[in-house]
Amino acid sequence: MTPQTKTNGSGRMLSDAQRELEKRAQTYREKALKMYPWICGRCGREFTGKKLRDLTVHHKDHNHENNPPDGSNWELLCIYCHDNEHDRQSVADSYGALRPGEKQEKIATSNPFAALGAMLKDKK
């Protein structure tokens, strides 16, 4: 197999995966658009006609594989509010904030410096 063949093969695999992702997204998008009014859940803008393409489906738990048939994990957001939501989540993630449903890790309960004052007094 030549490097050219490898590149074409992986490129084809990527495009197939992208097509599959878009096809799946189209399915839940169509369902969400039938279930919910065409209004952004954050800013309240209404969408009709050609502008409907600017209304996106946001996964509340940020898991694009979680698509329950009742749409309980979806909300319709305009592209601007959707981007803002993901930006806010990225900032929260960088500061270690928890997503809904995540459990907080146990924090240390011991204090390694508890006896430091006594140890320093003894040295004087």
Residue 37's contacts (CB-CB under 8 Å, 6 or more residues apart) are 76
Is the overall model pTM greater than 0.75, yes or no? no
Residue 106 in this model has a pLDDT that exceeds 70: no
The share of the chain scoring above pLDDT 90, in percent, equals: 37
Supply the pLDDT for residue 120.
Answer: 82
Assess whether pLDDT exceeds 90 at residue 1: no
Q: What is the pLDDT of residues 76-95, one digit of tens each?
A: 999 999 999 988 888 877 77
CB 103 within 8 A of CB 88: no
Q: Please state the domain extents for the chain.
A: 3-100
Which residue in 20, 34, 33, 95 sits closest to 64, CA to CA? 20
**pLDDT of 6 higher than 70:** no
Its sign, for the CA torsion 28, 32, 34, 40, is negative
- Do the beta carbons of residue 41 and residue 77 sit within 8 Å? yes
Average pLDDT over residues 22-35: 83
Q: Percent of the chain, pLDDT > 70?
A: 77
The beta-strand segments (E) located in 1-124 are 55-59, 74-78
